[in-house]
Amino acid sequence: MKKNVKKVVLAYSGGLDTSIILKWLQDEYKCEVVTFTADIGQGEEVEPARQKAISLGIKPENIFIEDLKEEFVRDYVFPMFRANALYEGEYLLGTSIARPLIAKRQAEIAALTGADAVSHGATGKGNDQVRFEIGYLNFNSDLTIIAPWREWDLNSREKLLQYAQKHGIDIEKRGQKSPYSMDANLLHISYEGLVLEDPNKEPEEGMWRWTLSPEKAPDKAEIIEIEYKNGNPVKLNGKDLTPAQMLTALNELGAKNGIGRTDIVENRYVGMKSRGCYETPGGAIMLKAHRAIESITLDREAAHLKDELMPKYASLVYNGFWFSPEREMLQAAIDKTQTSVNGTVRLKLYKGNVITIGRDSKTDNLFNTAFSTFEEDEVYNQKDAEGFIKLNALRFIISGKNRKNSKGN
């Protein structure tokens, strides 16, 4: 039974799904619709969404289009990369990290406009429904959440196209073969569906929108230098950049050098396995560079503990728990380690590879040549290692003696 809804804020891209959802909400719920379009660097013009919304009867004052690129990278992407987060060892969480920001702003717009409901275009099979809705509930648990894919019978691209045609919804490429299911932002582009539903089939080369293939990348390596401050990249080749500018520049460098393509079968939070392909060129560079600067600035045990915490952190992000107290607790611990992560990293970009060729920190370098050199030194007594080894082996010595005694009996 449908709840009585007066006004709903829809996460609106202007594309096929959300344009149909907009019309469906008007018809099914008889409510006023507010559209919210977040520019988080998806690489497409967002202003056309305004005209599409107006053409579907949305009042100009109910159309919100906001540039959130700096907030997205500064407050979501960078904290995640300070954790070196990888889900299941491969996924750089490009879609996962965008949903909390959209959900937060959507709930804020609901409060601003007096809306009593929010709506999204995530399907009932995916992870995004969880990420969006946990976000909404975190900020306002009184909001009614409308998830059309869990209610309607428009369960295929073909039915959606028919609905659009019936209701006069202007959709680009209407009637053509259904495209891949894609999500794009400043961190990545994801692809699902079509040939990708067979995990044994190679992706079509024409699918990739962002990166050159490694085979077509330049034959000459490109050398770059990234400067870090408190675990965040702040300068590229000596030039100060804002967070969004930094990620944009690294995306361009990575894309032209064939960096950042991944083909993954992952475990969705809702239970099934899913095959997805991703392009994350700037993220792949940042992960390599960040681990390189940490290698000389983090204490051994702090670094190892941080690596142990990372899979839990990544799962929290993937599953939609960005605003949870446990993620915030982990973030506080991780960020404490980052106060010493300062310095520069030199990288070689070549045909899909990110190769570290240098790292230095003028203030926090724990690499001490006097101790680690293979040449003669005056600070390390190699004889000390004998007692160190024996103490570490003491439990094996004792258990070995017990085994020997038991055999003797």
The per-residue pLDDT for 407 is 76
Which of the following is catalytic: 74, 75, 181, 360? 181
When computed from its CA atoms, the radius of gyration of the chain, rounded to whole angstroms, is 26
In tens, the pLDDT along 270-283 reads: 999 999 999 999 99
Start-to-end CA distance of the chain, whole Å, equals 78
Low-confidence ranges of the chain (pLDDT < 50): 173-178
Would you call 99 a catalytic residue per the annotation? yes
Catalytic-labelled residue, pool 50, 82, 99, 131: 99
User: Which long-range contacts link 364-372 to residues 24+ away (Cβ below 8 Å)?
Assistant: 364/297, 364/340, 365/296, 365/297, 366/296, 366/297, 366/298, 366/299, 367/296
Annotated active-site residue 213? The verdict is no
pTM of the model: 0.93
Q: For position 375, what pLDDT does the model report?
A: 72
What are the tens digits of pLDDT across the range 213-231?
999 999 999 999 999 999 9
Of 39, 116, 128, 183, which one is the catalytic site residue? 128
For residue 181, indicate whether it is catalytic.
yes
At residue 172, the pLDDT reads: 58
Residue 146 CA to residue 118 CA, distance in Å, equals 6
Per the structure block, which two tokens stand in for 72? 């997205």
CA distance 269 to 318: 8
Residue 409: what pLDDT?
A: 63
In what order do the strands lie in the sheet containing 189-192? Answer: 181-184, 189-192, 273-279, 261-267
